[in-house]
A = this chain, B = another copy of it.
Amino acid sequence: MTAQFLTEEIRRKKSFLCIGLDTDLDKIPAYLLKEEDPIFAFNKAIIDATHHLCVAYKPNTAFYEAYGIKGWKALERTINYLNEKYPEIFTIADAKRGDIGNTSTRYAKAFFENLGFDSVTIAPYMGKDSVEPFLAFKDKYTILLALTSNMGAFDFQTKQLEDQELYKKVLQTSLTYENSENLMYVVGATKASFLTDIRKIVPQSFLLVPGVGAQGGSLQEVCKYGMSDNVGLLVNSSRGIIYASNQEDFAKAAAKKALELQKEMSEELKNRN
Contact = CB atoms under 8 A, between A and B. Distances in A.
Interface residues of A, number: 55
A149 B128 CA distance: 13
B126 A66 contact: no
A155 interface: yes
Contacts of A125: 123-125, 145, 148, 156-157
A152 B166 contact: no
Interface stretch (A28-36, A37-45, A101-109): A101-109
A65 interface: yes
A154 interface: yes
Contact of A115 (B68, B109, B127, B149): B68
16 contacts: A62-B104, A62-B107, A62-B110, A65-B110, A66-B109, A69-B69, A69-B72, A94-B99, A100-B152, A125-B145, A126-B150, A126-B152, A131-B152, A156-B169, A159-B169, A166-B166
